[in-house]
């Protein structure tokens, strides 16, 4: 008899964004004329930067000749991209990250979900609440948690509440944990962690021999100069932090797929026999076994954003979405709603009116305004009573959505 992994049964029936897609298509089927505006999943709508398109075409041409054809690439990514990332995102900003510490992937979702495999099943995990559901769901699947309790929490997980009262900045737990998931700019609240907050986390991690799993997929959206873009801007982070970054939101690669993980050479974890093992070696072993690398043409497309022209195009793309964020934030505020985020992130986090539940607000917005957002409760129990809108829509649709919400 083939027994299933029963841990999967602890999870709600479907992944958050699949459930939203299901509800939207049910609504659309019942109301075929409804002109639905989708500001739910954070999927980009604007074209790839032209430099990336050109680089992808050139790379595809290379593959059409035997002399320049490439088959399997290195699982950890081509050196040309690893070096461009190290130079541009780290060295140029005075940060000590080397190309051999960078692992290219097909996106941050996979990396954030897979990283837990290199840690012991009895690791104690701490997760911000609300946050991107992949961190928690993958730990549930792995069996690192107990069951879902009636309060929406999983047994055995240390939740770090992020509410308006603490400016959506998680507090240090007063107990020991081994793995800490932090996300800044945060998905879904659109808020960021300050340098001081990160210093506290790094001090905690070093004192507890813990590892911080730092997701900064939205770093390109930071507009305020004092907000850290990388955890390695904080002293001591190389001893205790892994960083995740993505081209999805930076350069419109949600469908093209490219991301990367930084694992510093000196970062180690404890083995059962007490010895210390470099985490980078374990990740390399995992990737070489389970992953065959990101497509060459995609890596060439990603590399192209590090040219001067590429940087200008990426800046324009991010600027476009950040103007949408401003329109959403201002529109919500004018409509009398309380909104957070949207300044250093493409997400706006709003308090639902009249104490409505997140899912009730979702249904109301969909049926009355034909606008799709994401219920805050889907990101964790502390997201209940909140709602997320994304600024990744087209400009005209974003403006139209705000007019419809105001009319409600």
Q: By CB under 6 A, tell whether 21 contacts ligand MLT.
A: no
Q: Provide the H-helix boundaries in 143-278.
A: 195-208, 248-251
Contact predicate 359/23, CB 8 Å:
no
Task: Tell me whether residue 331 is exposed, middle or buried, using C-beta atoms within 10 angstroms of its C-beta: 0 to 12, 13 to 18, 19 or more.
Answer: buried
CB of 157 to ligand MLT, least distance (A): 20
Give 185's contacts (C-beta < 8 A, 6+ positions apart).
Answer: 191, 192, 216, 218, 219, 221, 222, 227, 341, 344, 345, 347
Name the residue nearer to ligand MLT (CB basis): 186 or 230: 186
Name the residue nearer to ligand MLT (CB basis): 43 or 233: 43
Which range of residues in 4-12, 39-47, 225-233, 301-309 is near ligand MLT by CB under 6 A?
39-47
Long-range contacts of 12-21, Cβ-Cβ distance < 8 Å, separation of 24 or more: 12/148, 15/133, 15/137, 16/133, 16/374, 16/378, 16/379, 17/41, 17/374, 19/378, 20/362, 20/372, 20/374, 20/375, 20/378
Number of residues that bind ligand MLT (CB under 6 A): 6
Which range of residues in 35-43, 57-65, 115-123, 311-319 is near ligand MLT by CB under 6 A?
35-43
Q: By CB under 6 A, tell whether 187 contacts ligand MLT.
A: yes
Name the residue nearer to ligand MLT (CB basis): 104 or 205: 104
Binders of ligand MLT in range 123-152 (CB under 6 A): 132
The only residue of 38, 82, 109, 300 in contact with ligand MLT, by rule CB under 6 A: 109
Name the residue nearer to ligand MLT (CB basis): 246 or 268: 246
CB of 108 to ligand MLT, least distance (A): 7
Name the residue nearer to ligand MLT (CB basis): 134 or 212: 134
Contact predicate 145/10, CB 8 Å:
yes
Name the residue nearer to ligand MLT (CB basis): 229 or 390: 390
Residue least distant from ligand MLT (Cβ): 42
What is the length of the chain? 408
Q: Provide the H-helix boundaries in 124-178.
A: 134-142
Nearest C-alpha neighbor of 202 from the set 192, 194, 216, 212: 212
Name the residue nearer to ligand MLT (CB basis): 204 or 379: 379
Name the residue nearer to ligand MLT (CB basis): 177 or 401: 401
* Beta-bridge partners for 387: 350, 375
CB of 348 to ligand MLT, least distance (A): 13
Alpha-carbon distances, residue 208 vs 173, 181, 239 (angstroms): 11, 15, 12
CB of 54 to ligand MLT, least distance (A): 26
CB of 207 to ligand MLT, least distance (A): 32
Binders of ligand MLT in range 380-399 (CB under 6 A): none
The only residue of 41, 63, 158, 284 in contact with ligand MLT, by rule CB under 6 A: 41
CA 138 and chain centroid, separation: 14
Which range of residues in 3-11, 21-29, 36-44, 332-340 is near ligand MLT by CB under 6 A?
36-44
CB of 344 to ligand MLT, least distance (A): 16
CB of 246 to ligand MLT, least distance (A): 8
Nearest C-alpha neighbor of 85 from the set 303, 232, 383: 303
Q: Where are the beta strands (DSSP E) in 139-252?
A: 158-161, 179-183, 211-215, 241-246
Helix (H, G, I), strand (E, B) or coil at 214: strand
Contact predicate 230/91, CB 8 Å:
no
CB of 103 to ligand MLT, least distance (A): 18
Q: By CB under 6 A, tell whether 42 contacts ligand MLT.
A: yes
Which range of residues in 38-46, 283-291, 297-305, 316-324 is near ligand MLT by CB under 6 A?
38-46
Name the residue nearer to ligand MLT (CB basis): 229 or 268: 229
Name the residue nearer to ligand MLT (CB basis): 42 or 264: 42
Contact predicate 209/242, CB 8 Å:
no
CB of 132 to ligand MLT, least distance (A): 6
CB of 95 to ligand MLT, least distance (A): 24
Nearest C-alpha neighbor of 304 from the set 108, 88, 102, 101: 88
Interface residues with ligand MLT (CB under 6 A) are 41-43, 109, 132, 187
């Amino acid at each position: 008899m083939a027994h299933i992994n029963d841990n999967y049964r602890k999870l709600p029936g479907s992944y958050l964004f699949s459930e939203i897609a299901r509800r939207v298509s049910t609504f659309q089927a019942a109301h075929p004329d409804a002109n639905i505006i989708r500001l739910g999943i954070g999927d980009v709508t604007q074209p790839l930067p032209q430099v990336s398109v050109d680089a992808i075409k050139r790379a595809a041409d290379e593959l059409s000749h035997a002399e320049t054809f490439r088959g399997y690439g290195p699982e950890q990514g081509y050196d040309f991209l690893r070096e461009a990332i190290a130079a541009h995102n780290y060295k140029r900003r005075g940060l000590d990250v080397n190309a051999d510490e960078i692992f290219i992937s097909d996106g941050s979702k996979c990396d954030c979900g897979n990283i837990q495999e290199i840690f012991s099943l009895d690791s104690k995990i701490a997760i911000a609440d609300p946050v991107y559901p992949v961190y928690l769901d993958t730990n549930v699947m792995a069996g690192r948690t107990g069951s879902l309790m009636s309060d929406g929490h999983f047994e055995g997980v240390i939740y770090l509440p992020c509410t308006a009262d603490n400016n959506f900045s998680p507090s240090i737990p007063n107990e020991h944990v081994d793995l800490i998931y932090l996300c800044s700019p945060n998905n879904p609240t659109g808020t960021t962690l300050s340098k001081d907050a990160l210093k506290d986390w790094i001090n905690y991690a070093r004192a507890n021999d813990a590892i911080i799993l730092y997701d900064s997929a939205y770093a390109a959206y930071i507009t305020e100069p004092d907000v850290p873009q990388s955890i390695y801007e904080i002293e001591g982070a190389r001893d205790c932090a892994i960083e995740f970054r993505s081209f999805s939101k930076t350069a419109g690669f949600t469908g093209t797929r490219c991301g990367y993980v930084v694992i510093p050479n000196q970062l180690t974890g404890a083995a059962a026999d007490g010895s210390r093992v470099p985490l980078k070696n374990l990740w390399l072993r995992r990737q070489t076994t389970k992953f065959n690398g990101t497509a060459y043409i995609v890596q060439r497309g990603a590399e192209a954003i590090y040219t001067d022209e590429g940087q200008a195009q990426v800046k324009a793309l991010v600027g476009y979405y950040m103007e949408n964020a401003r329109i959403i934030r201002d529109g919500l505020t004018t409509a009398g709603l309380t909104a957070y985020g949207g300044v250093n992130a493409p997400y706006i986090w709003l308090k639902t009116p009249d104490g409505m539940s997140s899912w009730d607000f979702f249904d109301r917005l969909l049926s009355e305004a034909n606008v799709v957002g994401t219920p805050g409760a889907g990101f964790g129990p502390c997201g209940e009573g909140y709602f997320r809108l994304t600024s990744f829509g087209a400009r005209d649709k974003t403006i139209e959505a705000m007019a419809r919400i105001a009319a409600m």
